[in-house]
Each structure stands twice: as C-alpha cells, then as structure tokens.
Amino acid sequence: MTSSTFVSETSRNVPKEQALILWFEEVGIADIPLVGGKNASLGEMIRQLQPKGVNVPNGFATTAYAFRHFIEKPGLEVKLRELFADLDIEDMNNLRDRGRMFRFDDRLLSIEEHSVECRTLDSFELSPVLIKLHAQGAEFDILQGAVETLRRSRPALMCAFVGAFPESRRFLESLGYQPFVYAQGAFVAGVSPANVTFTWFLNDASRIETRHSARG
C-alpha cells in the first residue's frame, strides 16, 4: 500500500468530523469549521471547476480535529490553558516572556529589507477563465492593475473578504460584475457572510457559461 493510498483510506474510513486529514476533493465551503477557509475554498474549486476542464492541483488538509487530538492526547491542552490564562493579546511584551512563549528568543530574530518587482496582471497578457484574489487586503490594488484583462477576457472572480473591502465590490460593479454566494450547488446574488471567505463576481458571460455547464 502506498502512502497516498493509506492517507486516502485513513480519511475515508472514519466520519469526516473525526478524520485527521481530508483530501481537497472531499471538502467544500461547508467544511470551513473542519479544515479552515483556504482548504475549504480549494476543495470547492476542485468540485466546481474540474468538471468544467479547469485543472486544480489536488492535496489534503490537516483537520481541526487532528490539532485538537494532538494537544489533548498528551495532556497539552490543560497546560496550554494554564499558561495562557492571563495572556494579554494586546501586549507584545508577552513575546519576551520565555517561560510563556516556549523558547522564543528575540535576540535570534533578524529583519532584512529586500526589493521585489511587482507587475500588474495586465502586463502578462493572459486570458484567464477564473481569477482567485486572496491577498491580505491588497485585492483592490491587484484589480486596478487588471482592468484590461477583465474587460478582454471577462473571467469569473473569487474575491476574499469583500465585506471588509467594499472598494473592490464597487470597482468590479463598475466593470459589469455582480456579487454572488455559492451555496447548495447554486449561485445566489449577494456578498458572502463573514464566516465565508470568498464572494464570487460574475458577469453576463460567466453566468451564461455557468448555467450551460450546470445543464450539461
């Protein structure tokens, strides 16, 4: 038995809620509590896009259950709760408390500056079918450098945390896109709630393609 076969069988012989790992193809947006937002989004992409011919690399996620098992089995949870009971998360000086932070030594920390070249998406002259935006708050900056690509190719977009960055929504709406939430096998107009990472932005062309694919 190969290691990949073992991992696959291990995840599928137990209830999903008790699996230590889950393959991306086994999870979707509804499984955020089990594997987190990014892993659930990858699973959703595999489920929805591979049947349409879009290749998404497979992989697996370590589950929240695995983490809980890891800290509960040897008794770490009790010790951690005692250790952090009075932790002030607003006080960065806690990082210097070596008894609390497990051998963290700021004398070993070094900070270096590096210059990087940033290019706009337009500069690559691509013709994407789907664009996924998850850039820690820089989504609007990326969109501003992708105007020609969006106008030319009219791709569908997955944008993270649109509710927190309304300028991205306004920008895309000015280009003819509308926000949608993917739920229970269908796109519903609106912005994703706070517990769902991605909002889909579709235009007339992508909505027509989505309906045709669903019917096929």
Predicted pLDDT at 9? 47
Predicted pLDDT at 214? 45
Per-residue pLDDT 10s for the chain (216 aa) are 344 444 544 555 788 889 999 999 899 888 989 999 888 888 888 888 878 777 777 889 999 999 999 888 888 888 778 777 777 767 766 656 645 555 556 676 677 888 888 899 999 999 998 898 888 788 899 999 999 999 999 999 999 888 777 899 999 999 999 999 887 778 889 998 877 888 999 987 555 444 444 444
Answer whether 0.75 is exceeded by the pTM.
no
In angstroms, the Cα distances linking 39 to 22, 81, 184 are 10, 27, 18
Instruction: Output the DSSP codes for the chain.
Output: --HHHHHHHHHHSS-GGG-SEEEGGG--GGGHHHH-HHHHHHHHHHHHHGGGT------EEE-HHHHHHHHHTTTHHHHHHHHTTT--TT-GGGGG-TTTTTS--GGG------------GGGGT---SEEEE--TT-HHHHHHT-HHHHHHH--EEEEETGGG-HHHHHHHHHTT-EEEEEETTEEEESPPPTT--EEEEE-HHHHHHHHHHHH-
Q: CA torsion 71→72→74→80, rounded to 10°?
A: 60
